[in-house]
Amino acid sequence: MNKIYWAGDSTVQTNDYTTYPQNGIGQVFPFFLKEGYTVENHAKNGRSTKSFMDEGRLAVIEERIGEGDFLFIQFGHNDEKINDPTRYTEPFGSFQDNLKTYIRVARDHKAYPVLITPLERRCYVEEHKLGPGEHGDYVKGMKQVAEACNVPLVDLNAMSRDALEEAGETASRKWHMYFEAGEYPQHPEESHDNTHLRYEGAVKYSSLIARGLKEIGGIYGEMVLDGIV
């Protein structure tokens, strides 16, 4: 049984009824996997590459991961928090250094690291057009690490931007925690959350990652069910 260990933030984490209807990408990703693969999702709300390590979360993965497993590394949203020294990392400095640490952890245990660029936010400037977003330098920084370390990369940022622009501002609301007052008992007030995901969004973006793995091919494409579009 091959395990996929996932290190990431709230866009990836597994949720329970206390945060309903929020879902994370790692929570639904098993839908796209063949038999013989399971997900162990260590992603947590609000974490950056730095705080995830500082809290010992990477150390837990290091204790558990083994030969033939995979480590999916998906960060960026909280590394950008320049006013929070417990989370902030420099996109072409400490962010890259931290990513290399995650890669080393996987390779030291003969596991396979995969870098995944951060999911784009709903940063619309027109119905079918996004603004530049906030992830640009972190996407570039991650791509540089992928190239330097010869690690496969799924560019979720680019794919999610394409999906958001194709869907449009109105239709894409159902993918995110964007809803009217009283729509959910746990949320009596309206929400215009353009970052966190509902079930529909988690499934949509998980499918993009699955497609990206298929495109990489080899052992990465083999884990994913056929017919992903």
Residue numbers annotated as active site = 10, 183, 196
Q: What is the DSSP string of the chain?
A: -EEEEEEE-TTT----GGGTTEE-HHHHGGGGBPTTEEEEE---TT--HHHHHHTTHHHHHHHH--TT-EEEEE--TTTT-TT-TTT---TTTHHHHHHHHHHHHHHHTT-EEEEEPPPPP--EEETTEE---S-HHHHHHHHHHHHHHT--EE-HHHHHHHHHHHH-HHHHGGGEEEE-TTSBTTB-S-EEEEEEEEHHHHHHHHHHHHHHHHHH-HHHHHTBPTT--
